[in-house]
Amino acid sequence: MTDAQPITGLTPDRVAPHALVCGDPARIDRITADWDGAEEVCQVREYRVVRGTRGGIPMIAASHGIGAPGTAVLIEELVKLGVHTFLRIGNSGGLAPDLELGDLVVTTGAVRDDGTTRSYVRPEYPAVADHEMVGALLAAAAERGARCRAGITWSLDAFYMRNAVLQADGSMGSMSVDGYWTADHPQRIADLRAARVLNCEMESGALLTLANLFGVRAGCICVVSDRTPWPGPAEIDLDNNMGQCIEIALDAMARVART
């Protein structure tokens, strides 16, 4: 396909086969800080794309914003332009009680609690990560001595509705406006914990589902930036250990690119 993509305006000559993706456009500068020939090729809405090389490997770093719909738009357009390997670097909430702030989680598969992927395929279809990507991420984390686990991620749509705040009496309460919540939400979180789901975020389900549908490779590594239920807003730390997460992702991408 040679025509510019309708949302990002990208064309094949402005991308590379390997893509590091993240939610925050500002994080692109951190991901590409040591790249050779880094050049911004797109800045449209939440989508910011920088192209360059690292260790002789052509790469792009691209932001997808918050949530599955915007992520799906980016993945669709990049795959159409020839990108075949994706690695998401993100923040997440910790569900497993023994996870600490700054720990890393490598997603092996995602619970598809979103509307976007249901538009593509029936809910029984699994959202699973590429096994080579998972192995490369774990190997890179082990080499750096990082606190890192691999497991299942809850990929959700509504940030405020699906998360929870710990109340003074020890119960879970709503983060939404006026404390809005439905009666089954505390049980939903308890059920996911019982099912050994490690963390929660908003994009891995879309990334992994679309990657498998389109025949490309994808993986995901996230920092635990808060814990569900949250003890309080001061507990959120979006930058805690993000530097190490980025370094591990870059090392893993290089490993996969050379295989």
pLDDT digits (tens, 9 = 90+) for 25-83: 999 999 999 999 999 999 999 999 999 999 999 999 999 999 999 999 999 999 999 99
Domain 12-257: top CATH class: alpha beta
Question: Residues for the chain: how many in total?
Answer: 259
Asked whether residue 147 carries a pLDDT value surpassing 60, the answer given is yes
Cβ partners under 8 Å of residue 177, min gap 6: 160
Q: Is 95 within 8 Å of 107 (Cβ atoms)?
A: no
Domain ranges of the chain: 12-257
Q: What is the pLDDT of residues 157-182, one digit of tens each?
A: 988 887 777 777 777 778 889 888 88
**Which residue in 204, 88, 106 sits closest to 156, CA to CA?**
204
Share of the chain above pLDDT 90, in %: 80
